[in-house]
Amino acid sequence: MIATAKNIVASVSNIITWPLNILATNVTTANKRLIRWAVRKRVGAAYLLALFWFPALTVAGLLWVLVSIHQRPDALWPIATAVIFFVNKFMFLLLYVVKQYERSVRALRHYRRHFG
């Protein structure tokens, strides 16, 4: 029974995230092509654009979602719920920023090697 429920949740999760996975795959492919072109033609601005436009839009979207979600006034503990919600979102954003920072440092070193 539990295994069936887990399979149902997993399949629903895959269905929900399917468009996002396709978008991420297409963005990755396009960015790889743009990065190769930028390195070949030595266009530093195109290289930086390929690296940072999607993470910048993702962070902007996450911030917009955080601002636009309103706490229900009839919640049992609205302040505790809001604190837990925002701490959870902040930690998720912090983890995302750290991952992007590590990726960006490698990219900027690569940029300096090829365009500097």
Q: Binning pLDDT at 50, 70 and 90, where does residue 75 land?
A: low
- Is residue 35 within 8 Å of residue 47, measured between CB atoms? yes
Instruction: Please report the beta strands in the chain, taking only residues with DSSP state E, as ranges in sequence order.
Output: none
Whether the per-residue pLDDT at 99 is higher than 80: the answer is yes
Inter-axis angle of helices 44-68 and 78-115, to 10 degrees?
180
Cα-Cα end-to-end distance for the chain: 60
Please report the pLDDT score of residue 6 as a whole number: 73
Domain ranges of the chain: 2-115
Please report the pLDDT score of residue 76 as a whole number: 56
CA contacts within 13 A on the Cβ side of 79: 0
Whether the per-residue pLDDT at 18 is higher than 60: the answer is yes
Q: Residue 22 class from Cβ within 10 Å (0-12 exposed, 13-18 middle, 19+ buried)?
A: exposed
Please report the pLDDT score of residue 68 as a whole number: 77
Which tops the pLDDT comparison, 73 or 96? Answer: 96
Whether the per-residue pLDDT at 40 is higher than 80: the answer is yes
Please report the pLDDT score of residue 74 as a whole number: 59
Which tops the pLDDT comparison, 32 or 13? Answer: 32
- In three-state secondary structure terms, 73 is coil
- Is residue 97 within 8 Å of residue 59, measured between CB atoms? yes
Please report the pLDDT score of residue 84 as a whole number: 76
Cβ neighbours of residue 48 closer than 8 Å, sequence gap 6 or more: 111
